[in-house]
Structure 1
């Protein structure tokens, strides 16, 4: 049996380009998560000021062969592989394996347009759940949403309010996966917001920005919605 293959990629990037890089990395990581042999991947941010490598990506694969085959699907161009000190970094993102639609009961969540999701949330007909990671949520999120990151969603599903749920992410991929997890956990009336936050903003629906009035506390996550329910 082959040993697990661990890839460590230090990333040298300017601070002003970090947000766009992380968005692109998230999309690429979700492609990798669907490949055979993928175990998990993490993104770490340095806690050491002035570090040459502000970000480090660590990916685990079942074998070197699986990793090499995945590189044909999503090559990491121009990135170096090296060893870094893990104690100098804190994890900021995690991507777990993609669940196959054939697993569990195989049902996909129905899609709602951003406008319809907003209307139902305002009327108390559903809870809007943002499944993006903490840093994405902090940067901006749909008004009225609660936060439950996809990477921790299995554990936090029971904390979400009863009743219909509409999951939202950046483009609609992670929200569909979150919806599938909710369905497998026995939740009914589960939706995914089509097009995610990008479509939400394109429809000129309200978002909460850092420091803006009414911004939710990240630590509260679902508490406000539970009180409202």
Structure 2
């Protein structure tokens, strides 16, 4: 099989590239929703924590009370702040019935991934709780954008990947989906928020992957990364970097 030199060399040399190259290829932050408190005070944390935006309360009492608790309730994910589809191919395929909007299923899967991340952690900081209580923290999550991958568009892009053409990169951009979330950790007893985060991820660049032909295959992969990053962040010493997900992958599934 003949590989296009430009695309193959891109994957060969950029995949193990430095973190700055990875950030350059990552999806850009999206506008924060009203779910995110204090948006003007959100800080860029992509290089340190993997999440594009974070905020921590400046109130020492709220922060101390939150840090003292070791139980975590992960609430059902809200879709209240979900924006309409914003990508042309995704909108068309949903309108034509080729792709279904599965936001309810995706919301349930997002919560499951965060639960699973704590259950499989070798040394979780928090014990999961079945309900909020005075001795718990509550993690609330909101999906703000969910554009499915275009399977039909990617079928065309796959052909372009194996022929020399400058249009391949532009076509791949049009078929990509994206998912954006926001999260907040609150004191279950007082309702006071002491930490928030937000991130937006688009489909990874691939040579060929089954996820390219699944409307929400890349989204599931993204959710797993988010959950792992968050769990690792909760138990990492201050100043220790949490690795972000890669923008390119050679994995076929």
Same fold (TM over 0.5): no
Q: TM-score, normalised by structure 1?
A: 0.21
Structure (1 or 2) with the greater helix fraction: 2
